[in-house]
Structure 1
Amino acid sequence: MTAPARSAWPKLRVADWTATRDTLHMWTQIIGKIRLAHAPLVNHWWQVTFYVTPRGLTTSTIPYGTGAFDIEFDFIDHQLRIRTTEGTARGVILEPKPVAQFYDEAVRALHELGVETPIQPWPNEVEQAIPFPQDTVHASYDPHAAHLFWRQLLQADRVLGQFRARFVGKVSPVHFFWGAMDLACTRFSGRPAPTHPGGAPHCGDWVMVEGYSRELSSCGFWPGGGEEGAFYAYAYPEPDGFREHPVLPSSAFYSAQHGQFLLPYEAVRTADDPDRTLAEFLQTTYEAAAEHGGWNRAELEDDPHRWDGPHGVASAGRPYDQGLSGGS
């Protein structure tokens, strides 16, 4: 079930799948808006995101009346799977087709399951916002490329999850935002942030105001910014000295154009130790935000192995249960 460290990180040139990427982006926006229509607001829009699964990307459970449903992009069998708590299910084949057709098929499948979902039928955070029912421009789907992208996300999700475990302050899940099509994890200092100016295309400024309402250090991966995509890290607000802070590895750099540090995906993929290379980038860019921003690191960070040892995870694997039962 596991692959050697380097071979687990697949090669996928952005130029080789741009048409599929852009079509898939629109498909994820449609499904993301369906989750948005039913899930109650959680700070920073965390209720709208997707999560990496052993087969693709899922909405997780979406409440509907007194029941629920979920939707998953399966990038192994290339199906959009919709399931309800009534035991019913529908599928939409992931294959080359216009966004307009995918939109019609997804909405029809939900209707057949008794789920009615009116959404704003146009994309956000993109320059070319063609309404979904009219979009015949984006119509590509290369199943091999989609599968490789999911494998990129799988590795990024794993290392980001390990990085997240070292923070005990407020921190987001590792989740996929369909607006910008990126996998992200965000740490917070605990202090409010200045009002964000907004400015994302076809997206109300109030969306960014909510998303950036607290001081933060964010990192993640998106299929752009490098030949094979890029890992990124930024701070909001960006403290003085942030962009000059020395970060690892040597292939990482601060992009004034993007206002963030970037690490090309290919630099991680081809490294002798990809996990360590990415972990160094995540840690040093976080330190750039925390040190120059004056974060209380002593209260916000901890060792995820703090319960290892003769009475903890290493011996029994269930230290929490032991603590509840009074075991030693």
Structure 2
Amino acid sequence: MLFNGKHKGFLFTLMVLTLVIVSACGNNSGSGEQDAANQTNTSGSTNTAALSGTIEIDGSSTVFPLTEAVAEEFGKENGDVRVTVGTSGTGGGFKRFCNGEIAISDASRPIKDEEAAACKEKGIEHIELSVAYDGLSVVVNKENDFVDKLTVEELNKIFDSGSTVKTWADVRSGWPAEEIKMFSPGADSGTYDYFNEEILDKKGIRNDAQISFSEDDNTLVQGVTGNKFGIGYFGFAYFEENQDKLKVVPIDAGKGAVAPTQETIKDGSYAPLSRPLFIYINKKEMERPEVKAFAEYYIANIGKLTTEVGYIPLPDDKYKEEAAKLQG
């Protein structure tokens, strides 16, 4: 069939209109799908796809492996959030926290009254969260074949600031007359604070002990492994990580000697050196979506991560209590 010019013009116009309509429908469909995706991303309590920013954490070297593990897993799901974790010690962390320098402080002991007062003076309110249990572990060199256990009194005799003990023979008759090399965390460490309170009756540690001022427990590990007659103390996770070159010492608090294990720390029979570990969160910082998301992720996942890094998880009900604190 032949078409004249008039018919050809009509067909051309019809084809153009058809293409415009099809194109418009396609664009509308894509826009609708994108809108639906956006609604899906923002429908939860926290839009993790949009999270970004930096979260700075500092404090306890004992809690560091826990927080580092959480930060690593959180980062896999939130690549635009940068989480940095320092180890200035519990006391050092609280100083920075109360100055408003960091969002979260790791702590191997509860906040002290004077630290809480310093925070209050700067207008900083905090949320305290228990995250795991730890057993402060007393260790000697792997080649030490005479220390089978220590009483709390003997520990005091070794480390107390007023002690005159010099050799292992001074601690217990029959032990070698070899000079004791003592290794301890520094004064900013929550581990030191706990040991000072529970073992030293708050009298402080002796001047000739070798102190880790860097608040790095690996320094203490190296000190004890490098001295056949050395002795030190730090968190259970650091012993487990180095148990091939260290010997843990059972502690007798009056009911028989007990060594730190997952079970004895959790049930409290490893006394008096079992303790809870904490993180402290600046309430104001919780207004930042990335901080709130990280805190919620921490409590939701720390139970399963705790065992992986050598600590002891809290009961499930306790984690639910801690999670509820974040909703206030």
TM-score above 0.5, yes or no: no
Greater relative contact order (CA < 8 Å, ≥ 6 in sequence):
2
Structure whose CA Rg is larger: 2
Higher helix share: 2
User: What TM-score does the superposition give when structure 2 sets the normalisation length?
Assistant: 0.22
